[in-house]
Each structure stands twice: as structure tokens, then as C-alpha cells.
Chains A and B, each alone.
Chain A
Amino acid sequence: MLAWTIYITFIGVLVLMLLPRDNARAARIVALLTAVLGCAVAFVGAIQQTNPGEVTTIVKADWIPAIGAKYFLAADGISLVLVVLTGLAAVTGILFSWNIEKRTKEFFAFYLALIGGVYGVFLSFDVLLLFVFYELTIIPKYFLIARWGSTRKEYGAMKLALYSFVGSHLVLIGMIAAWVVAKGQLGHASLNLVELSQVAFPIAFQHWVFPLVFLGFAILAGLWPFHTWAPTGHVAAPTAGSMLLAGVVMKLGAYGCLRVAMLMFPEGVRMWQGEIACLAVGGIVYGAGVALVQKDFKFVIGYSSVSHMGFVLLGLATLNTIGLDGAVLQMFSHGIIAGLLFGVVGRMVYDRTHTRDFNDLEKMNVGKLLPFAGITFVIAGIASMGLPGFSGFVAELQVLMGAWAVFPKLTILSGIGIVVGVAYTLRAVQKGFYSDVPAEAPHHHHEHPLEPISLPEKVGAVMLIGASLVVGLFPGLLMNWIEPCFKSSLFKRLLEGGSL
């Protein structure tokens, strides 16, 4: 059932390609239908999965027998959470790009291709297949930014592609090395993740190969100091692009870290756990600091993403159940909240005011002109600050609780990030929406009244706020999927250690 998320999305791409070039309306509707269908399948499939703790096979067929590669799709609770996230992000992203007029058809084709690849990564349990889907997402990302982007779009797209490819190459090298060693130990060639996660790779081998693979994926998760693709990429991307980049693409990286690097090389993680935690906290504090002095509204959100993803990586580095629970929940939470923030800034504000510069926005009193945008941003900001009631709180709290047991000093340090997080969010709220600078030219916006917030935007915003609230108030909904995973045999070696 869940495999249809991938197929439906790629069928959508095909249908879009067959549409006449100038029918933007049809393209939008096809894209939305595809995304809604995919999202629905994701939800139903996820709910139907009776045992989220175990890896449930969806499809398993030979692919390249010579190297042991299989077309192996499966899901456990972690996949479920992220597939549902992807479904939500896909639908809301389309709602927030309803106004794309330039080559609408191609835009949505690339958009859906990216989504399809993301679904693929979250459902692959064959390392090579996962890698192929992972690579597949880079190309649409590049074109989405380079063609439909804004500020320094070529630079942003180039930087993103460059970082992504460097990361992929590290992963590829590690993958080949692991394949060779595993073949020696298993007696047959295998790329099956479940199998590989039981192989006892020699410690010396794990010591060098783990950082390669982990770093390769973590670059995409915005690991400090390899994060700089993220803010520039987010800023350059069109609204839906930033929503997807922050919402799901960064999760690909974090997911790869957990699913491939950490699962295959548990001893490697233990050797490098302190370093990872340091970099993660570095990202939390640093991202928040940089966000505080930005003049471009989107850069604030871009850097806040780096800061929030730091919590995911910190949670991963804890290697205890509560920290990992928090990390996965934070992936979901950040996907929703960052998507919402980018939606407000990119679509609701920038597309109407044509500026993201705080100095200009301060004079416009956007909160009065677009009350819906203002209120949405305030709510999103509250969620982003990690205030209780929203998903971020439960996620970050668990990460902190997990981290306290292992790195108490780093946990305290990460608190600076939390406080600065409040500061940059409030600054953005006040400068962006409720400014105190009197309008210099009050006639300015009387002449060009801003177009009111459209229905698709409202629906998208309400969906995302709702998702964050529901998870914040009833975290059990997702925790029931995540929690059993870390108790399963798959993660036993990672969490309990002593396998070698």
C-alpha cells in the first residue's frame, strides 16, 4: 500500500508532462490531486500498519542480482512518521505555490519528482535503492531553485548541488567499502539494510567508515559547520522549494544518518558520539546567533532551521531511547513548523510586498494589512520557540532529557540556543509584522493594496498549525509509532551496545 505513494507521485509527474504547456490551471489541479492522493495513501497505509515496531516488507524483488541489490521497500514506525510528514509537506507546498505562473507545468513536475524521490528514500530498505532515490532528489532541487528561485538563485542552487554531491560521494565510498566487508562476512553479496545492520563490521573499519557515511548524510541535515548550503538554498528557493528543503529534504539527511550510518556502524557511533554532539550543539547555538542579526526575513528562518536541526542531531548522538525518540519527533515537528514559517514569509509576505528586507517591512505594518499572515506567523513563531502545546516542545524536551544523561554540559550550552531562539523569533515578529516604525509614506500602500490572503494559503496554514498542535497535545499519536522501533531487534545493537 505505502509503495503507492511513490508510484502515484511519479504517475503525477508523467501526467503533468503530457499536459499542454499553457494550461496552468490543469497543472495545478493535477499536482494537487496527486499530492492529496499520495498524502491520503501515506496516512491510510501508516494507520494500517499494525506493528510499527517491526520492519514490514512492502515489496521485495531482485534488482541487480550480481551485487545483491534488491528492490526492497519496507517501513517501520520511523518511516511511517516521515512518510506522513512528506505527504503533509507535499500538499501544503502545492497550496502555497498556487500562484506560480511561470512554466507552471514544469514547476510542478519537478516538485512532484522531488516528492517521489523523498517517499522513496523513506521507504527503501536496500542501501543502493535508498541511495538512488536520494540522488534522484538532487536534480529537481537544483532546477526548482535555479529556475523559479529569487535572490542569488544560481549561487544558491550551485551551492546546494555542490554540497549534496560531496555528501553523496562520501556516502557512496562508505557504502562500497561496507558492501565489500559485508560480503566477506556474510558469504554473499547483500545491500539489505536489515541484514547489514546485523553484520559485525570490524571496529577499526567502523572507526573510519562511519564518519564518512554519517557526514555524507549529515551535510544534508545541516550539520554545523557544513550547513551553509541550507540558508542560501532556502532563501534562493521559491516558497514551495524552501518548504520542501526545510520540511523534508533536511530530514533525508537526518534519516540517512540514523537509518544507514548509525544502524550499520553502531560501534562507530559510539566512538564519534561526543564529536557529533559538539557539532550539533554548535549548530543550535550558532544558527540561533546568526538568525538574530539577519536583515532578510527568509534568512532568519533559514538559520533557525540549522538551529532546530541541531536538536535532531543532538538527539541522535545521545544513543538512548528518549533522545532518539525526540530526534525523530523533532524531524516531524521541524518539518511542519519550518514549512509553515517559510510559507508565511515566502508566499504570504514576499509575493505580495516583493521585499523581505526588515528595513522595508518595518515601514509597511504588514500585520495590519495582512492580519491572517501576522497571526499565522505569531503562532508559527510560538511553535518554533518550543512553547508547550506545539510539537516542538515535546520533541526538544525529549532530546534534552536524553542529552542530559550523556552530555550534561552540552545540554546546558544548547540552552543558549533556546533563549536566543526566543530573541530572534520575537525580533522577526516585531520587525516583520508589528513594527513600531511609523510608515514614511502612508500613501504608498493605499495605491497598491495588498492582495488578500487566498483560500489555498489559509487551508495550508491551518493544516500545518493543526498538525503541530495535534502532535503537541497528543504526542502519543506519533510516539506510538516511533517508540516501538527503538525497542525492536533492529535497533537493539545500536542502543544496547556490546555486540562486538
Chain B
Amino acid sequence: MIWIVKNLWLIPALPLVASGIIAVNKQPKRKLAAGLAIGSMVAAFLLSLCAFAATLGHHGGEHGAFREVFGFNWIQFGGQWMDLGWVLDPLTAIMLVMVTFVGTLIFIFSIGYMAHDQNFMRFFCFLALFASGMLGVVIANNLLLLFISWEIVGLTSYLLIGFWYHKPSAAAAAKKAFITTRIGDLGLLLGMVWLYAETGTLNFYDHGKGCLEASALSQMLAHATIGGLAVSTAIGLLIFLGAVGKSGQLPLHVWLPDAMEGPTPVSALIHAATMVAAGVFLVARVYPLMAAGALVGEHGAPVTTALTVVTWVGALTAIFAASIAVAQNDIKRILAYSTVSQLGYMMMGLGVGGVAVGMFHLITHAFFKALLFLGSASVIHGCHEEQDIRKMGGLKKYMPITFAVYAVGMLALSGFPLFFSGFWSKDEILHAAHGWSVSQIPFYLGCTGALLTAFYMTRQVALVFFGAYRGHEKESSHGHSAHSHSHSSESSHNHDPHESPAVMTVPLVILAGFAIVLGFVGTPAWPWFDGYLTGEAIKLDFSKLAETAGLMGISALIVISGLTLGWILYGNRQRKTAGEKDVIEAAVPAIFKVLQNKYYVDEFYDATVIRFNAFAAWFCDFADQWIFGGLVLIVKYITIGLAWLYKFTDEYFVNLGFDVGCDSLRQSGKGLSHLHAGRVQTYLRIIGVALVALILFLIWGHKP
């Protein structure tokens, strides 16, 4: 076993240790905190590169892709050892590199963004802890270890969303995020419990004994459960529920847009690049379970009930969230809904095309979405904490670097043809969806989503960077420094937006570079990424490009028409003031309102689930106070009542009886003493009478 496999645990352990050291340092030591966190991430990144290198060069080998596992016993569960362990395979390696690299850049960016925050130390402590949990998810070779890390991720996400807990909206958003994802986690937990009950192991790969390997899979396929589903499918769906929660898929997507209340680097790290991708990664990890017993479709992608569900959920989420993004005005919320939508694409990609298709989009998206979020952080920072795009405009002039990189990110997200990574990865998904044997609807949904994506991104960029700056209106209306509490000293002189410092722009430029070049590792002509994950040999073949040219043309056409439409509506006709109505709002107010209110899903949940829950809880409380508590009170009062009754009987019956008894005793004593006078004849007479009475009683009294 090579050393990197044995020591893979170091990758999550390094940030964990860093986080621990930061946590126990009482005095504010900003440099130490940032240094430790970033240092640990850089070290983890270097180790990840080693791990990545180890997995390379296995294309076309006889054993397929590289895979080595390492495990150790943790505890005995009911007489069986429960192992924990990690696995190194291409899926792990590529995620490790992505998470540590993007993470490092975001950490560096955060130094600038959080420079004025009082709780700088705490922020880096949480960030490092988060990274550790996320890396744990990635390396886990065991559903239990994955779940443990998964929960650390959920917890730190809660802590980071609620980082500014003095803001009511942040506190509420944090709570909402935790509870909503926890609902999904419950599915994962139950899936895990069931999986263990079926296979007796939670190890993914264990030299033939793991739960994702052939023998366990066929065993699970053989059993059927409710509704004729194979057990493997049912377990797969429960695990998918966990992914739905974490990755903000329908119907548990509601937390993700609200989570934008956290500091923006957090949004970039957690809600774009890594955590939300954990759900997609989870599905990719347990893909063999999802695909078990598949009827192989005509294009080679397996079709199962579980994967069909994944596809539909993904496709619906993609179009649903994209349409909401069209009507949002908060720069981060637009990106948030776009994230939800893109995660939908990834799920769809997994469902219709397999691991490589979904994962490719995950990786490219991580880069360009982190870029967009950090870009928006730079914009927000430059505009004195303003997040409403209606109050921006013309920033191209003030923030040229930010504008340039943001444009790259926007084109990548929109899927601008040929030169941007988003085009290649999205195209692969659409291509797979086109070939999906079950239904063509996901393909059309995906295409419509792509149109909307290009449209809302153009709208955003046009409103933010083009036209004239509309932010000055704000200051005249409610005074300066209302929002710019953190850095008022420099900005109070100059209300114009300003470009961000180098510590913020350099990471942006690097990300922008990757947002372009990454696409070329997964083109149809040279599907290196695909081959890397599956371990198949690949070669450069431009004729493949021609085969898919038709679809690519359609996809390019869609994107370009979205961009053009957006530019016509928003770029060409710039709004004059911040208060002006949106173009679509003016045209179709009813639809715009529904979109702006996110299809009223939150309101729907408030009216149903939450109200029901509140009612049930209230009812239980009522029952406790008045029914169960009442029983005790009744017992109490009955006891007290009985006590009164006893006292009463005591005084008036027992005591009375006693007194009467005493009296009568005395009386009878007198009478008896009268009898006991020693008159023998009387005794004899009494005995005689008694004897007669007895005989008479025996004669008549015992007649049956």
C-alpha cells in the first residue's frame, strides 16, 4: 500500500487540528488564526495533489480505475466490528483537489473580506472545522464515517450561516438550514441503518465484502420491500434524501437561498463549491447502489428506479430554481438560486449519464460559482455592503478587475460556447439527457433551464456593471454608514464604489483562469475526465466532436439567445433609478410576483408543515398539563377528599361508635355482671336454651 493511502487521514486532520488550536487561543491573534487555517489548507492541498498523482496513469489498466482502501476497527456493534476507513480512488482524489484548492483561495480571500470583523478568529476556526468535515466526507470509505463528517459539515454550516447572529434574519436562516438539512439527514441515517441490517457492513469497498460490491448488491437486489421495490432501491432513495437536503433539491431547497445571510466567503465555500456539492458527491459515491440491477440503456447509461427519481428531482429543481432567479434583486440570492438550479443539473447528470457526467459539472461549477460568489463579495464590499442589484450599476468603471473576472464566471455559468468550462460540462449533461431512454422531458427542461440561466446572468451583470451607478440615491435617503459599519473610516470620504484589495482580487483571477481551462479536460473529443473516473483508456478523437455537433449547436443557440434577450431587456435599456419597476414586472406583473415570491413555497410550508408541527407540539403540551397533569391533580384531590372523608367518619362514626361502644360496653358490663352473679341455675338455664337453639338451627338451618 502506498504511503498516501495510509496517510490520507492527514488531509482532513490538518484543518481539524488548526481549528482546535485556533479555538483554544483566547487572545485575538488574527495572523495566527489565518496563518494556521490557510497553512493547513495548503498542506492538505499538497497532500491531495500527491493522492491525485497516485490515481493517475491507470487508464485502461486491467483492474479499471485505481482504488485502495484503508480501514481500522472502531467499536463493536452487537458483536460485530464496525470499521472506519478511507478510500482513495479517482472520485476521492478529484474532490480532494477541488475542495482544498478552492478552499485555500476562499480562505485567502476571507482575510480581506473579514478584516474588520470582531470575530475574525472564530470565523477561521469554523472555516477550518468545516473544511475538515468536508474532506472527511470525501475520503470516507464507510457510510458511518461519511455520516459523521457530514454532520460536522452541517453543524459548521449552521454556525457559519448564523455567524452574524445578532441579525435576526441570519439567526433564523441558520436554524432553518440546520433543521431542513437534518430532515434529509434522517433519510440518510435510516438508509444507513437499513443498509447495515441488510448487508452487515457499512464499508463501501472492502475487497469484495463492501456494501457497494457485487455480492452485497445482488443480495439486496434479491429482497423486495414495500411496493415491490428492491431493497437496494429503497436504501438508495433514503440515502438520496440526505443528498436532497444537503444539495438543496426540491422540496428541501428552501434553506439554501436564506443561507446567504452568512458572510459571503462562506456562501462561496459552503453554498457553492463544497457543502452543497456533498449531496451530489454522495450520490456519486453510492452510485453502484443506485444503479444496481439496471437494464442498461441504449447509450450505456443504466436506468433504475432510483436513478430515475434522481433525474426527475434534478431536472425539476434545475428549471424551478432558474425561473425564480429571474425575478430576484439580491445579488447573492440570484447566485443562490442559480446554485440550486445547477445542483439540479448535476443530479440530472448523475441520473441520466452516470458518475462522470454529474461529477464533471460539479467540478467546473465549483470553480466558476466560487468565482461568482467571491466576485459578488467583492462587489458588495466595494458598494459598502449593498446587495440590491437595483442600487448598483456602472461598476465596470469602478471595479475593472472584478468586472473582468465576474464576466468570465457569468459566461462560464451561462455555458457560453467553446471557451468556457460550463459549456462543456452542461453540454455533456444535455447530451446524456437527450439519449436517456425513459423520457425526453428532462432534456427539454434542461434546455429551458439553460436559456433561463443565460438570461438571468445577463440581467444581473447588466444591472450591476453597466449603466450608471445608482447607489448614491441610498445615501440621500437614509444617511451614510447605515450599512457600512465595518469600514466607515475609508468609505466615509468617498461614497463611490471602490476596487477590492489584491488579497481579494488575486484569488478571483486564479479562479477565473480555471473557469476557462477546466472545460477542456472533458470535451467529447478528449473525454479525459470520463476516462480518469472510470479507468478506461481514452484518446484524442476529433470525429466525436462532429457526432455531437448538432446538439452542441442547439445548446449554443439556446445560450446565445438567452444572453441576447437579457441584453435587450436589461443592458440596452438601463433602468434610471433604483425604484423603477423591472421590465418583466411591468409586462407580466402576476407571473413576476409569483417568481419573486419563490412560488410561495416557504409560505406553503409555513401554512402546512410548520403550522401542523406547532399545533401538534401545542396539543402535546396541553395534554401534558391538563390530561396527564390533570390525572395527578385528580388523584391528589381524591386523596385529599378521601382524607376529609376519613376524618369525618373518624369523628362521627368511628369515634362516635367508639364512644357508643364504650357506653354499651359499660352498660353490658353492668348487665353481664348482673348475670355473673354466680347463680348456677341461671347458667344452666341459659346453656339449655342455647343448646335447644343450636339443635333447632342444625335441624332447620342446614336443610339443603
Contact = CB atoms under 8 A, between A and B. Distances in A.
Interface in B119-161: 144, 147-148, 151-152, 155, 158
Given A325-B78, A423-B179, A479-B75, A412 B613 contact: no
Given A423-B179, A426-B179, A476-B74, A225 B618 contact: no
Contacts of A158: 636
Among A323, A419, A487, which residue has the most Cβ atoms of chain B within 10 A?
A419
B677 interface: no
A400 interface: yes
A26 B620 CA distance: 46
Interface in B164-192: 165-168, 171-172, 174-175, 178-179, 182-183, 186, 189-190
B186 A415 contact: yes
Interface residues of A, number: 53
B359 to A, nearest CB: 26
B693 interface: no
Contacts of A322: 77-79
A426 B159 CA distance: 11
Contacts of A398: 77-78
A389 B148 contact: yes
Contact of B168 (A159, A400, A426, A436): A436
A411 B190 contact: yes
Contacts of B636: 158, 162
Contact of A404 (B168, B175, B194): B194
B621 A436 contact: no
Contact of B155 (A162, A320, A382, A405): A382
A286 B148 CA distance: 27
A388 B617 contact: no
Nearest to A402: B78
Contacts of B629: 228, 232
Interface string A394-431: 10011011101100100110010011101100110010
Contact of B193 (A389, A404, A423, A426): A404
B652 interface: no
A31 to B, nearest CB: 32
B635 interface: yes
B621 A294 contact: yes
26 contacts: A158-B636, A162-B636, A225-B628, A228-B624, A228-B628, A228-B632, A229-B632, A231-B624, A232-B629, A289-B621, A290-B624, A321-B78, A387-B151, A388-B151, A389-B148, A397-B193, A398-B78, A400-B189, A400-B190, A415-B189, A419-B183, A426-B158, A426-B175, A434-B171, A476-B75, A476-B76
B116 to A, nearest CB: 19
Contacts, number: 124
Interface string A366-391: 00000000000000001000011100
Interface string B10-41: 00000000000000000000000000000000
Interface string B482-509: 0000000000000000000000000000
A387 B154 CA distance: 10
B165 A434 contact: yes
A58 interface: no
B339 to A, nearest CB: 23
A418 B186 contact: yes
Contacts of B155: 382, 387
Given A225-B628, A227-B628, A404-B197, 13 more contacts: A289-B621, A293-B618, A293-B621, A387-B152, A393-B151, A394-B75, A400-B190, A408-B194, A412-B190, A418-B189, A427-B175, A476-B74, A479-B75
A364 interface: no
A321 B79 contact: yes
B175 A483 contact: no
Most buried by B among A290, A387, A427: A290
B545 interface: no
A209 interface: no
A446 B79 CA distance: 58
B197 A419 contact: no
Contacts of B696: none
B419 interface: no
Nearest to A403: B193
A292 interface: yes
A456 interface: no
Nearest to A483: B76
B616 interface: yes
B196 interface: yes
A289 B617 contact: yes
A45 interface: no
A434 B74 CA distance: 36
Given A322-B77, A388-B147, A419 B628 contact: no
Contacts of A415: 186, 189-190
Interface string A210-247: 00000000000000010111011000000000000000
A475 interface: yes
Interface in A284-331: 286, 289-290, 292-294, 320-323, 325
B617 A159 contact: no
A400 B193 contact: yes
A303 B155 CA distance: 23
A-B pairs, 7 with minimum CB distance: A322-B78, A388-B148, A436-B168, A321-B78, A289-B617, A228-B628, A292-B617
B182 A401 contact: no
Contacts of B635: 162
Given A321-B79, A388-B147, A420-B613, A436 B624 contact: no
Given A401-B196, A404-B193, A423-B179, A293 B624 contact: no
- Highest count of chain A CB atoms <10 Å: which of B77, B78, B171: B78
B614 interface: yes
Nearest to A228: B628
Interface string A472-484: 0001100100010
B198 to A, nearest CB: 10
Nearest to A367: B165
Nearest to B196: A401
Contacts of B179: 419, 422-423, 426
